[in-house]
């Protein structure tokens, strides 16, 4: 077992080792090319998702406006008034879920549409008695501040301590 011109190394033939190394390098290069292609495709898909989310928010806001206009035209009777309740700002929806559920069950507001966007929860509905709705909201323990402005009630929720 003479080592001769480097034909054998640790019991392996040098040509076989070189051939195997070349095939492994080619496999590695192919994998890196595939990874780059997949990363480019992932970036493209990520951009598409961001664009679609932005469009979804725009459509949701437009839908809320249309719903509000419908409420204005169909609901103006002497005993009911279109009303929007804006709750926020808040970083997440979790601190205001109790208030959101309570608004659904409120006897003074018939909820027609809800939207959570940019940290503000918007509820459009028909108020049977706006004064009673305001006093009901003031009595809630999770409400810090109220402001009534031409059919829109702005509600500042209390901070929830962890």
**Among positive and negative, which fits the CA dihedral 32, 33, 38, 43?**
positive
**In whole numbers, what is the pLDDT of the chain averaged over residues?**
84
Report yes or no on 83 lying in a domain: yes
Report yes or no on 127 lying in a domain: yes
What is the pTM (predicted TM-score) of this model? 0.53
* Concatenated DSSP letters of the chain: ---TTTTEETTEEHHHHHHHHHHHHHHHHHHHHHHHHHHHHHHHHHHHHHHHHHHHHHHHHHHHHHHHHHHHHHH-BTTBEEEEEEE---SSSGGGHHHHHHHHH-TTEEEEEEEEETTEEEEEEEES-HHHHHHHHHT-TTEEEEEEETTEEEEEEPPPP-
Instruction: Record the tokens describing residue 10, joined without a space.
Output: 């640790």
Instruction: Record the tokens describing residue 80, joined without a space.
Output: 């009911």
Residue 40's pLDDT is 94
Q: What pLDDT digit, counting tens, does each position of 62-108 carry?
A: 887 777 776 666 555 567 788 899 998 888 888 888 888 898 889 99
Report yes or no on 20 lying in a domain: no
User: 30, 44 in Cβ contact below 8 A?
Assistant: no
Determine the structural domain holding residue 153 and report its residue range. 77-157
Please check the confidence at residue 162 and state whether its pLDDT lies above 60. Answer: no
Over range 12-35, report the average pLDDT: 89
Report yes or no on 150 lying in a domain: yes
Report yes or no on 104 lying in a domain: yes
Report yes or no on 103 lying in a domain: yes
Sheet with strand 81-87: strands edge to edge? 109-117, 120-127, 81-87, 152-157, 143-149
Give me the residues paired with residue 145 across strands. Answer: 156
Residue 76's pLDDT is 55
Report yes or no on 12 lying in a domain: no
Q: What pLDDT digit, counting tens, does each position of 109-119 carry?
A: 988 888 888 88
Report yes or no on 50 lying in a domain: no
């Amino acid at each position: 077992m003479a080592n001769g011109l480097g034909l054998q190394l640790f019991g392996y033939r040098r040509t076989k080792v070189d051939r195997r190394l070349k095939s492994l390098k080619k496999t590695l290069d192919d994998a890196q090319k595939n990874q780059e292609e997949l990363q480019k495709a992932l970036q493209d898909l990520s951009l598409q998702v961001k664009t679609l989310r932005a469009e979804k928010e725009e459509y949701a806001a437009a839908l809320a406006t249309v719903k509000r206009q419908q409420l204005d035209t169909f609901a103006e009777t002497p005993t009911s008034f279109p009303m929007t309740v804006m709750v926020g700002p808040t970083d997440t929806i979790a601190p205001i879920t109790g208030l959101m559920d309570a608004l659904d069950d409120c006897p003074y507001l018939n909820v027609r549409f809800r939207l959570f966007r940019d940290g503000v929860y918007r509820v459009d509905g028909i108020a049977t008695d706006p004064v009673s709705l305001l006093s009901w909201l003031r009595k809630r323990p999770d409400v810090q501040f109220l402001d009534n402005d031409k059919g829109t009630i702005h509600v500042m929720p209390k901070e929830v301590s962890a």
